[in-house]
């Protein structure tokens, strides 16, 4: 049994491609079931910078084709169009990749915390389907544990910035002093909360919050001295605001050029900074052609996050040491799973022989139930002791594949499958 990871991220695919594969929390369960219908079980990790599928594969990794077909269908692109953006990792490389993601090493904002929650959410969504086998679930459980350990034992996330807080650095390219700025935040989720927290630190003059859930928008705004507005009442706030930060989670644009152009007519000569950290994007990119409008998307964050990478470069090496050690500890357990079908078949055959012979022998003897139970327990112990060393070698030996084949042939086991 092998682990295979197939996906794309901000290094291999532009935003225009990534957003086609971005999945909201309400879409993940349906996507997991669709993946299962394509053949392999799998766990889907979808963040603003990546979409990846982790699945079990045979020794020839034939599942890769089925995963690529699934992703192409999801993106509504042909395999030939999508495949140049895809990568695939196998075994140790796949495990190391996931552990690095959970530790914040693969994020655009090095060490950011949100990704650990996203790995945890991917695990919970997969568990809820009831379709995922224990090995994959354990892989993600270990990834969450490694991510926590990396943050506890190193400074990779100390005074950590988030996507939302780096977005505010983009706004400062236009407005040196944010204390005089009015800001509209379209999100009351995690991204919105982090943005508001960072904005309040900069002492903005006025905060306006909106969301598809007015109640959540009201709670967030009230907690920080701002005001909430209904989701579809954006006309007046667009005229008033200096900065807009959005991450609504909508599957389509919520701000079209016509809406922004109309607002700009009522505020001539005043710049408007629009920061779209949503994937898929909330703002039609044609908005950037409007005079005095400065539009940034998630990929623009990289231009202002370089200092964060330099600041944490020393910690990156420490985290990699942890990741490498955890991969080295995890892989022997993973490899031992290759022997499980053979071990199960071996134990089952031995137990069948034991029961058959025990029944035949005890049927010819007159003895108490207590004596029968004692003989039954004794024969179980004999079987366990005889099989103990073979099972240990099957699980732990570097020559596991040879031992598996030998045991299958020597004991004529029904489970004659290649590991």
* pLDDT tens profile 200-233: 988 998 999 999 999 999 999 999 999 999 998 8
The conformation of residue 148, written as its DSSP 8-state character, comes to H
Closest by Cα among 51, 139, 58 to 94: 139
Closest by Cα among 214, 211, 222, 215 to 186: 211
d(CA 385, CA 380): 9
CATH code matching the domain that covers 2-159, chosen among 3.30.460.30, 3.40.50.1700, 3.40.50.12170, 2.30.29.30: 3.30.460.30
The residues annotated as belonging to the active site are 48
Residue 418 has pLDDT above 50, yes or no: no
- Mean pLDDT of all residues in 77-86: 97
159: left (phi over 0), alpha (psi -120 to 50) or beta: left
d(CA 253, CA 280): 8
d(CA 411, CA 349): 9
d(CA 14, CA 16): 5
Tokens of 78: 């042909």
Q: What is the pTM of this model?
A: 0.80
Helix, strand or coil, per DSSP, at residue 290:
coil
Residue 145 has pLDDT above 90, yes or no: yes
Q: Which residue has the tokens 């099972």?
A: 391
User: With pLDDT > 70 as the criterion, what percentage of the chain qualifies?
Assistant: 97
Give, in order, the Cα–Cα distances in Å from 44 to each of 28, 136, 190, 330: 8, 11, 20, 21
Fold of 163-308: Rossmann fold (3.40.50)
Contact 139, 122 (CB under 8 A): no
Contact 342, 418 (CB under 8 A): no
Closest by Cα among 246, 243, 260 to 205: 243
Helix, strand or coil, per DSSP, at residue 99:
helix
pLDDT value, residue 417: 46
| Dihedral over alpha carbons 326, 332, 337, 340 (to 10 degrees) | -140
Give, in order, the Cα–Cα distances in Å from 369 to each of 316, 352, 373: 65, 21, 6
User: With pLDDT > 90 as the criterion, what percentage of the chain qualifies?
Assistant: 59
Closest by Cα among 211, 219, 151, 209 to 183: 209
d(CA 21, CA 145): 27
Tokens of 167: 């977005």
Could you write out the DSSP letters of every residue in 38-71? TS--EEEEE-SSEEEEEEEE-TT-THHHHHHHHH
d(CA 117, CA 105): 14
CA dihedral over 336, 339, 341, 346, signed as positive or negative: negative
Closest by Cα among 100, 129, 106 to 50: 106
Lowest mean pLDDT among 78-82, 99-103, 169-173: 169-173
Instruction: Give residues with Cβ within 8 angstroms of 304, minimum separation 6.
Output: 166, 169, 170, 173
DSSP alpha helix (H) spans, 54-183: 63-75, 79-82, 92-102, 114-129, 134-153, 163-171
d(CA 364, CA 182): 93
Residue 20 has pLDDT above 90, yes or no: yes
Closest by Cα among 217, 216, 209, 211 to 244: 209
The mean of the pLDDT values for the chain is: 90
Domain locations in the chain? 2-159, 163-308, 337-410
Residue 76 has pLDDT above 50, yes or no: yes
Other Cβ atoms less than 10 A from the Cβ of 41: the count is 18
- Mean pLDDT of all residues in 126-153: 95
Higher-scoring residue by pLDDT: 1, 30: 30
Higher-scoring residue by pLDDT: 8, 41: 8
With b for 16 or more beta-carbon neighbours within 10 A and e for fewer, the 154-168 pattern comes to: bebbeebbbbbbbbb
């Amino acid at each position: 049994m092998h682990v295979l990871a197939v996906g794309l991220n901000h290094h291999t695919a532009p935003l225009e491609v990534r957003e086609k594969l971005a999945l909201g929390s309400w879409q993940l369960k349906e996507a997991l079931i669709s993946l299962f219908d394509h053949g392999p079980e799998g766990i889907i990790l979808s963040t603003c910078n990546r979409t990846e599928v982790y699945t079990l594969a045979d020794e020839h990794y034939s599942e890769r084709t089925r995963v690529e077909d699934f992703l192409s269908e999801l993106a509504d692109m042909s395999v030939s169009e999508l495949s140049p953006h895809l990568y695939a990792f196998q075994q140790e490389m796949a495990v190391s990749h996931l552990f690095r993601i959970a530790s914040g090493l693969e994020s655009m904002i090095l060490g950011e915390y949100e990704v650990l929650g996203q790995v945890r959410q991917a695990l919970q969504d997969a568990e809820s389907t009831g379709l995922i086998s224990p090995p994959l679930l354990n892989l993600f459980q270990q990834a969450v544990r490694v991510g926590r350990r990396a943050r506890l034992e190193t400074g990779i996330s100390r005074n950590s910035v988030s996507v939302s807080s780096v977005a505010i650095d983009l706004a400062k390219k236009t407005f040196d002093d944010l204390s005089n700025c009015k800001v509209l935040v379209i999100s009351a989720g995690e991204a919105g909360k982090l943005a508001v927290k960072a904005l309040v630190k900069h002492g903005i003059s006025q905060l306006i919050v909106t969301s598809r859930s007015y109640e959540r928008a009201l709670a967030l705004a009230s907690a920080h001295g701002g005001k909430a507005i209904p989701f579809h009442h954006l006309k007046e706030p667009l005229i008033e605001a200096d900065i807009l930060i959005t991450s609504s989670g909508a599957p389509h644009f919520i701000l079209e050029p016509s809406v922004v152009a109309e607002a700009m007519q009522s505020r001539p000569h005043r710049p408007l900074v629009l920061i779209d950290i949503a994937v898929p994007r909330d703002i039609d990119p044609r908005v950037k052609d409007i005079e005095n409008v400065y539009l940034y998307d998630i990929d623009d964050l990289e231009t202002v996050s370089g200092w964060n990478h330099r600041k944490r470069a020393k910690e990156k090496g420490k985290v990699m040491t942890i990741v490498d050690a955890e991969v080295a500890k995890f892989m022997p357990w993973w490899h031992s799973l290759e022997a499980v079908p053979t071990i199960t078949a071996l134990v089952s055959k031995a137990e069948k022989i034991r029961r058959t012979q025990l029944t035949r022998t005890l049927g010819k003897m007159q003895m108490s139930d207590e004596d029968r139970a004692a003989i039954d327990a004794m024969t179980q112990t004999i079987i366990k002791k005889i099989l103990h060393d073979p099972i240990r070698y099957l699980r732990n030996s570097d020559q596991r594949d040879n031992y598996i084949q030998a045991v299958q042939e020597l004991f004529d086991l029904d489970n004659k499958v290649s590991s």
